[in-house]
Amino acid sequence: MKTESEPFHRRASRAKTLVMMLAATSVMLGCTQANLYHASRLPPELMAPRHATLQNVDLSRLARTVSNSQVLYIGDEIEVSIATGLEDKTPPAWKGRVAEDGTINVPLVGTVQVAGLEVIQAEQLIHAESIRRGKYVSPNVTLALVQRRTNKVAVLGAVEKPQTYELPSSSSDLLTAIVQAGGLSEDAGTIIEIRHPPGVVEAPFADNGDGYSTELASMRSNRRMVRTPPRTVQVDLLQASGSDYGDYSLTDGSTVMVMKRAKRYIHVMGLVNRSDQYEIPEDLPEPRLLDALAMAGGQSLSIADKVHVIRQLPGRAEPVVIQASVRAAKADLTSNIQLAAGDVVSVEETPTTFVVGTIKDFVRFGFSSAIPGF
């Protein structure tokens, strides 16, 4: 007559035999992975690159290099009066705007290039031109800046208040536009595109071959206005924060597009509780191996220790495989390697985990109470 314990003894015997066979296999397989890179000895060129964030970006460098409140710009409204000293009453004042070519048309004197000059320099140039052209003998020229021209700039994308803003021409730069839009939003990336419409920009004069004397040439603007086609400037905030150079000025009709940061993912698979693709949170910019395992709910078997991190690096045709250990990662930060976006983290099956998994299957089928700890 059979007892209730006989089926268990037969199953336990088979499990014991399987454990012994797979233990021997584990010893033989231990040396077949010599071609893998090990987490604790990972060459620098195979390490995850540092993740670029906006936390340490110096946005002040996005302002124009030179911003002088006394400089005249295209579209500024000005007022000019010329007195000879012979008038019985206050000389009339003439109002006008700086034209698209950077000139103003002064009554009797004609056109004078003033864009890019400070107010006092413009007065001196009008004074000199009126004498050179034979219109006055010794005039007293007064020029006043009445109203700045404003530039309509659209600020779109990852900012707090995307819309069109009017910026003073004297401070129409990327920093002013971002500030007006309430700053960068939480999902802002590091790339900004500035799209300029056709227009005119300041450029240096090529020579002094236009009839000006050396004295006049020193007083006139050393800039000229030239027409430009539509153009797009891409700004990397990380590079901009470390450089004193860059084209961050805006013109009327410019569009500032702040790009959203690209979402970053890592994939966790194998002997984990929740195999899936996981987005890397921004408050964890540089996740490590143990972080990835935590996202996946930990190992499905507590004894699972062997991990492969599959990483595709730029310039390499084939991905690299990094072998890591959960136990080592818990004991040593070097072994708890930093992960990169796109990494695949695989908790590997081993002979030991296979045996334990097999025994667990036995447990599910009716004898869990007979084996303590399962």
Low-confidence winner among 17-31, 109-123, 253-267, 321-335 (lowest mean pLDDT): 17-31
Within-domain flag for 114: yes
Q: Let me know the angle formed at the C-alpha of 371 by 369 and 374, rounded to the nearest 5 degrees.
A: 85
**pLDDT tens by residue, 259-304:** 998 889 999 999 999 999 999 988 888 899 999 999 999 999 999 9
CATH number at 284 reads 3.10.560.10
Instruction: Note whether 121 and 199 are same-domain residues.
Output: no
The pLDDT score that the predictor gives to residue 225 is 58
Say if CB 159 and CB 259 are below 8 A apart.
no
220 lies in some domain: no
Which residues are CB-contacts of 132 (< 8 A; sequence separation ≥ 6)?
A: 213, 216
Query: pLDDT for 320-336, tens place per residue?
Result: 999 999 999 999 988 99
**Dihedral angle sign, alpha carbons of residues 337, 343, 347, 351:** negative
Compute how many other C-beta atoms are within 10 angstroms of the C-beta atom of residue 118.
16
Say whether both 350 and 272 belong to one domain: yes
Domain assignment of residue 110, given as a range = 77-147
- One domain for residues 155 and 248: yes
Domain count, the chain: 3
- Tell me the average pLDDT across 301-308: 93
Specify the pLDDT at position 2.
Answer: 44
Token look-up 């399987």 returns 18
pLDDT (average), residues 297-323? 91
d(CA 283, CA 281): 5
Check whether residue 163 and residue 44 sit in a common domain.
no
Question: Does residue 195 form part of some domain?
Answer: yes
